[in-house]
């Protein structure tokens, strides 16, 4: 598989990737706990495709999925992080990549998946940025090209993680939820309203998604300002 070289990521432009800059911190350990729980969440089938989303914007889903991707890669898994948020993409900022072409380019047959994937400075971790923002993200995500992207990526990688838009904002996440092996829902302590969380769960249920658990972000405990907790539904 020929992969294009990504720009080198420096500590100054990483966005909250504590698992990279401080892998021995308590928060990094929490991410590893989430990773372990995901791996043991199903008995009969390994989780190969994982969607991370939230009910609304600004709840930390992109930071969470990026750190999870790093922890899976640190475990020796060959990991692909896909920026499926084609409305407000962030993965290219997080990993200091160009976004000239990416997921939208693959889905519109402009380039192959292998050509669009970039290496990162983390061993075993690769990213597929969103590419140019399209006028019809939902249609692209429900296309046959998306099915092909799933099949090809699962053949190339041990695990594929999708960063999607918030559930209550647009239908994009629901479309992918039905296709992924599991979903992790991120909520922000003190910000996410209960009715928003319940509505998000209803949308996942209606899409027949397997909700693996919830990550509570910004939960203060002892002297730690950010704490990530994973629990089954």
Give Cα separations from 25 to 83, 100, 183 (angstroms). 26, 35, 25
- Positive/negative CA dihedral, 22, 216, 222, 225: positive
**173 within a domain of the structure (yes/no):** yes
Range of the domain at 163: 18-231
Distance CA 56, CA 166 (A): 5
Q: Is residue 80 part of a domain?
A: yes
Average pLDDT over residues 179-188: 93
Q: Which two tokens stand for residue 138?
A: 């939902």
Residue 194 pLDDT more than 60?
yes
Residue 107 binned pLDDT confidence (cut-offs 50, 70, 90): very high
Mean pLDDT, rounded, for 42-63: 88
Per-residue pLDDT, 14: 46
Distances in Å between the Cα of 127 and the Cα atoms of 42, 123, 131 are 25, 12, 11
Task: Give every strand in the sheet of 125-128, ordered side by side.
Answer: 118-119, 125-128, 79-83, 159-163, 49-54, 182-188, 211-217, 229-231
In a domain, 11, yes or no: no
3-state secondary structure 32-72: HHHHHHHHCCCCCCCCCEEEEEECCCCCCHHHHHHHHHHHH
When pLDDT is averaged across residues 39-62 and rounded to a whole number, the result is: 88
Would residue 58 count as lying in a domain? yes
Residue 143 placed within a domain: yes
Confidence of residue 46 (pLDDT cuts 50, 70, 90): confident
On whether residue 10 sits in a domain, the answer given is: no
232 confidence band (pLDDT: 50, 70, 90): very low
Mean pLDDT of 3-12: 44
Cβ atoms of 107 and 145 within 8 Å: the answer is yes
Residue 11, pLDDT above cutoff 90 = no
Report how far residue 42's alpha carbon sits from residue 187's, in angstroms, rounded to the nearest whole number: 22
Q: Where are the alpha helices (DSSP H) in the chain?
A: 18-21, 26-39, 61-74, 91-94, 103-107, 113-116, 137-141, 144-156, 172-177, 194-206
Distance (Å, whole) CA 47 – CA 156: 15
> In whole angstroms, what is the distance from residue 17 CA to residue 56 CA?
21
Whether 7 is covered by a domain: the verdict is no
Q: For 207-220, what is each residue's pLDDT tens digit? A: 999 999 999 887 66
Alpha carbon distance 218, 232 (integer Å): 19
Question: Within a domain: residue 188?
Answer: yes
Q: Is the pLDDT of residue 113 over 60?
A: yes
Place of tokens 């899409």: 207
Indicate the SS3 state at residue 6. coil
| pTM higher than the cut 0.85 | yes
How far is the C-alpha of 46 from the C-alpha of 34, rounded, in Å?
15
For residue 33 the two structure tokens come to 């706990």
> Looking at the 3D structure of the chain, how many domains does it have?
1
Query: Which CATH number belongs to the domain containing residue 227 in this structure?
Result: 3.40.50.300
């Amino acid at each position: 598989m020929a992969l294009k070289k990504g720009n080198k990521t420096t500590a100054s432009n990483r966005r909250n990737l504590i698992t990279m800059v401080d892998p021995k911190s308590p928060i990094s350990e929490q991410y590893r706990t989430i990773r372990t729980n995901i791996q043991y969440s199903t008995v009969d089938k390994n989780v190969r495709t994982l969607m991370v989303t939230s009910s609304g914007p600004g709840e930390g889903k992109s930071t969470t999925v990026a750190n999870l991707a790093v922890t899976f890669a640190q475990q020796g898994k060959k990991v692909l992080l896909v920026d499926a948020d084609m409305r407000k993409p962030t993965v290219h900022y997080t990993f200091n990549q160009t976004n000239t072409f990416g997921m939208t380019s693959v889905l519109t047959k402009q380039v192959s998946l292998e050509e669009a994937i970039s290496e990162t400075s983390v061993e075993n971790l690769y990213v597929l940025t969103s590419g140019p923002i399209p006028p019809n993200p939902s249609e692209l995500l429900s296309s046959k090209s998306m099915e092909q992207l799933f099949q090809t990526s699962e053949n190339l990688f041990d695990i594929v993680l999708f960063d999607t838009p918030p559930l209550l904002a647009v239908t994009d996440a629901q479309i992918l939820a039905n296709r992924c092996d599991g979903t992790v829902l991120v909520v922000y302590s003190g910000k996410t309203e209960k009715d928003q969380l319940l509505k998000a769960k209803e949308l996942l249920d209606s899409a027949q998604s397997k909700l693996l658990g919830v990550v509570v972000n910004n939960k203060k405990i002892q002297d730690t300002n950010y704490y990530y907790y994973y629990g089954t539904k």
